[in-house]
C-alpha cells in the first residue's frame, strides 16, 4: 500500500526528469494524503503534460463521485481485470514523481509505526499510476489518479507486504506511451524495486495526522524495540469482499 507521499522536487527537476512541456509551480509537501492533489505526468495530444490530479481514482463511468469508494491504489496483479482500472490501463497511464513515501509497520502488539521510505541514494522516485477524467452532468470535470502497487521487495517486506510500482529509464517511456505500447506490454515494465535499492527509517507518529506538515516529519527517530521484534515479512491482507469487483 502507499497512503502518504512526500514531494519536494522543484519544477525544473520534474521537467528535466520527465520531459514535460510545461511547469507547475509547487511548494515542498511532506504529508500528502488521499483526496489531496498530486502532481502527475501523462501524454496529451502527443506531448507530456504535468497536471494536478485528485489522489483517489474516479472512473469516467461513475454517476456520483460522492457515492464511490476511495481508490488510492491499484494492485498490479489484478488491475487489468477490474472495471475501475481497465480503461485507464489501456489509455490513461501516468507517472507520479515523489521524494519518498510513508508506510506503517504493525508490531506484534498490533501498534502501527510509521516509516519514511526512499531510494537508498535519495534520487527522485517515479511511481506508476493510472488516471481518469470524470465529467459531470453540468460539464464539470476533474482528473483523479491511483498509484499502482506491487509486492514489496526484500528491503521493505518487514515493514509492509506492498510497495509502489517504481519505474525508471526506458520503463518510464514505455509506461507513458499509450499510443503504441499496449496495456499488457506496459504492465511488463513495472514490478518491485531491485533488491538493495530502497532505504527506510522510523519517523514521528505526527505523520499520522494529515494536518501536520513540514520537514521534521521525515527526520529519523529511535526505533521502537517492540516494532523491531518481528522481522518476518507480513502476510498479504485478505481482500474486502465488498470491494471484489473494484479491486
pTM comes to 0.88
pLDDT at 127: 97
Three-class secondary structure of residue 44 per DSSP: strand
Residue 35 CB partners (closer than 8 Å, separation 6+): 54, 55, 56, 70
120-129, 212-221, 232-241 — which is least confidently predicted? 232-241
Instruction: For residue 73, give the CATH number of its domain.
Output: 3.90.1680.10
137, 139, 143, 144 alpha-carbon torsion, rounded to 10°:
-10
Residue 107's domain spans which residues?
4-237
For residues 153 and 194, what is the distance between their CA atoms, to the nearest angstrom? Answer: 7
Residue of 232, 99, 221 lying closest to 160 (CA atoms): 232
Does residue 246 lie within any of the structural domains?
Answer: no
pLDDT at 230: 45
Does residue 242 lie within any of the structural domains?
Answer: no
Average pLDDT over residues 187-194: 92
Does residue 150 lie within any of the structural domains?
Answer: yes
Does residue 195 lie within any of the structural domains?
Answer: yes
Does residue 49 lie within any of the structural domains?
Answer: yes
Q: Has residue 246 got a pLDDT over 80?
A: no
Does residue 247 lie within any of the structural domains?
Answer: no
Average pLDDT over residues 120-143: 94
Chain centre distance of CA 102:
10
143-147, 187-191, 214-218 — which is least confidently predicted? 187-191
Does residue 196 lie within any of the structural domains?
Answer: yes
Average pLDDT over residues 215-221: 97
pLDDT at 224: 67
pLDDT at 139: 85
Q: Has residue 14 got a pLDDT over 90?
A: no
pLDDT at 226: 52
Does residue 245 lie within any of the structural domains?
Answer: no
Q: Has residue 241 got a pLDDT over 50?
A: no
Residue 70 near residue 12, CB atoms below 8 Å: no
Cβ atoms < 10 Å from Cβ of 209: 10
User: pLDDT tens for residues 78-122?
Assistant: 999 999 999 999 999 999 999 999 999 999 889 999 999 999 999
pLDDT at 25: 86
Cβ atoms < 10 Å from Cβ of 186: 21
Q: Has residue 227 got a pLDDT over 60?
A: no
pLDDT at 190: 92
pLDDT at 1: 64
Across the chain, what does the average pLDDT equal?
90
Number of folded domains that form the chain:
1
DSSP 56: S
Amino acid at each position: 500500500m502507499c497512503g502518504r507521499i512526500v514531494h519536494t522536487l522543484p519544477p525544473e527537476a520534474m521537467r528535466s526528469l520527465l520531459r514535460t512541456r510545461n511547469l507547475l509551480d509547487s511548494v515542498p509537501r511532506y504529508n500528502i494524503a488521499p483526496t489531496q492533489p498530486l502532481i502527475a505526468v501523462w501524454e496529451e495530444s502527443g506531448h507530456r503534460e504535468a497536471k494536478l490530479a485528485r489522489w483517489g481514482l474516479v472512473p469516467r463511468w461513475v454517476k456520483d463521485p460522492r457515492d464511490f469508494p476511495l481508490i488510492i491504489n491499484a494492485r498490479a496483479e489484478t488491475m487489468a481485470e477490474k472495471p475501475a482500472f481497465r480503461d485507464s490501463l489501456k489509455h490513461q497511464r501516468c507517472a507520479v514523481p515523489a521524494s519518498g513515501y510513508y508506510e506503517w509497520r504493525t508490531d506484534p502488539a498490533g501498534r502501527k509505526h510509521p516509516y519514511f521510505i526512499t531510494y537508498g541514494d535519495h534520487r527522485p522516485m517515479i511511481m506508476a499510476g493510472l488516471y481518469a477524467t470524470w465529467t459531470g452532468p453540468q460539464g464539470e470535470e476533474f482528473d483523479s489518479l491511483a498509484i499502482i502497487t506491487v509486492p514489496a521487495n526484500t528491503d521493505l517486506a518487514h515493514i509492509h507486504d506492498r510497495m509502489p510500482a517504481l519505474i525508471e529509464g526506458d520503463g518510464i517511456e514505455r509506461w507513458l506511451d499509450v499510443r503504441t505500447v499496449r496495456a499488457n506490454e506496459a504492465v511488463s515494465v513495472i514490478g518491485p524495486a531491485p533488491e538493495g535499492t530502497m532505504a527506510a527509517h522510523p519517523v514521528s507518529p505526527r505523520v499520522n495526522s494529515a494536518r501536520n506538515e513540514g520537514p521534521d516529519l521525515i527526520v529519523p527517530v529511535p526505533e521502537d524495540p517492540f516494532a523491531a521484534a518481528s522481522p518476518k515479512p507480513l502476510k498479504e491482507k485478505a481482500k474486502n469482499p465488498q470491494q471484489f469487483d473494484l479491486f
